[in-house]
Amino acid sequence: MPLTSTDFHFPNQDAPVYHGKVRDVYSIAGDLLVMVATDRISAFDVVLPKGIPYKGQVLNQIANYFLDATADEIPNWKLAEVDPTATAGVRAEGFRVEMIIRGYLAGSAWREYAAGARELCGVKLPEGLRENQRLPEPIITPTTKADAGHDENISREDIIAQGIVSAEDYEVMEDYTRRLFAIGTRMAEEKGLVLVDTKYEFGKHNGKVILIDEVHTPDSSRYFYADTYQELFDAGKPQRQLSKEFVRQWLIENGFMGRPGETVPEMTPEVCTSISERYIELYEHLTGRKFVPADETDAQKRIETGVLDFLANINA
């Protein structure tokens, strides 16, 4: 049974649970966060009506894999994985911006380009590009981070001019974004994948910019298979990919893009199982580890026990 919502009450919890699009976030004792990756799935900034089995576990464990792999170079929020679906870490003041970096023209960027746009978030693009083409160099196309509704594209200049992020902090975020993308690209190449684009979120903790939230998961990133990339690109065919884009394409084909008046198509058990299998495939391909499903007999109790054990140890 997919885990689609939690509502725990932990010792020293100082705010009600925050239900994001996918994660339930618990604030504890002012300086700690516990993030539970649920099996909810979102697309076009809409939370879809059905949960996807094991999706939360896949997201949490891929994020932890990359948080650990990049921690020596980029400081991040993680303290411990307290459950297969939950991570505890320091609480940071999040910036109201998502840093999206693209190495290829795909997804929403391609859709805008195909509609005539030649500038994305202040970054100019040349004429004559094709879908899924590698860009001359990776570009950063930030969005505002909305509590509800759609995130909006925004340029570096407007972020600084509007005081959303200071010029000094933005420079650090931009540097970290490029460095993380380079690491992610290298790690993907080692597994026969192409990291197409991804997003990162940052916050400030004790005066320092740190990486928060998830990293290089299928919810935040798009991957192509490297061995067929060039052949498919030359033939003008769709890429074989491991990402959430196949969910978006399924929705688009069934008349849903999150616009007013549109209805989410029926998510049959077969559709949900297929999505789950794709997430597990990405986990195994990216990490080189066999996916071991967590015992779902009582996921709520399992998560609660893990968090309580962590809190007891950290306060000991």
Choose the weakest-confidence range: 194-208, 213-227, 240-254. Answer: 240-254
Residue type, 164: I
Tens-place pLDDT, residues 9-26:
999 999 999 999 999 999
Q: What is the pTM of this model?
A: 0.90
**Angle separating helix axes 269-287 and 55-70, nearest 10 degrees:** 20
Mean pLDDT of 222-242: 94
pLDDT of residue 145: 81
Residue 316: pLDDT band by 50, 70, 90 thresholds? low
pLDDT of residue 131: 97
d(C-alpha 80, C-alpha 82), whole Å: 6
d(C-alpha 282, C-alpha 242), whole Å: 6
Residue 98 tokens read as 């998502």
Percent of the chain clearing pLDDT 90 (strictly above): 86
- Give me the residue spans of the domains in the chain: 18-93+245-314, 94-229
Asked if the model's pLDDT at residue 242 lies above 60, the reply is yes
Asked if the model's pLDDT at residue 149 lies above 60, the reply is no
Asked if the model's pLDDT at residue 117 lies above 70, the reply is yes
pLDDT of residue 163: 96
Residues 6+ positions from 103 with CB-CB distance below 8 Å? 134, 135, 138, 181, 185, 194, 195, 196, 197
pLDDT of residue 150: 62
pLDDT of residue 219: 83
Residue type, 228: T
Mean pLDDT of 170-179: 98
Mean pLDDT of 125-150: 89
Residue type, 256: F
pLDDT of residue 125: 96
Task: Report CA 241 to chain centroid distance, whole Å.
Answer: 16
Mean pLDDT of 150-167: 92
pLDDT of residue 297: 83
Which DSSP string do the residues of the chain spell out, in sequence order?
----------TTB-SPPEE-SSEEEEEETTTEEEEEE-S--EETTEE-SS--TTHHHHHHHHHHHHHHHHTTTS-BSEEEEEETTEEEEE--EE-SEEEEEEEE--HHHHHHHHTT--EETTEE--TT--TTPEEEEEEE--EE--SSS---B--HHHHHHTTSS-HHHHHHHHHHHHHHHHHHHHHHHHTTEEEEEEEEEEEEETTEEEEES--S-TTTEEEEEHHHHHHHHHHTPPPPEEETHHHHHHHHHTT-SS-TT--PPP--HHHHHHHHHHHHHHHHHHH-----PPP-TTHHHHHHHHHHHHHHHHT-
Distance set, CA 112 to CA 108, 109, 233 (Å): 6, 5, 19
Q: How many CB atoms neighbour CB 206 within 10 A? A: 8
Residue 147: pLDDT band by 50, 70, 90 thresholds? low
Task: Report CA 86 to chain centroid distance, whole Å.
Answer: 15
CATH superfamily of 94-229: ATP-grasp fold, B domain (3.30.470.20)
According to CATH, the topology of domain 18-93+245-314 is Phosphorylase Kinase; domain 1 (3.30.200)
Residues pairing with 28 in the sheet: 13, 32
Tens-place pLDDT, residues 70-89:
999 999 999 999 999 999 99
Mean pLDDT of 255-270: 94
Torsion of the alpha carbons at 238, 219, 283 and 235, rounded to the nearest 10:
10
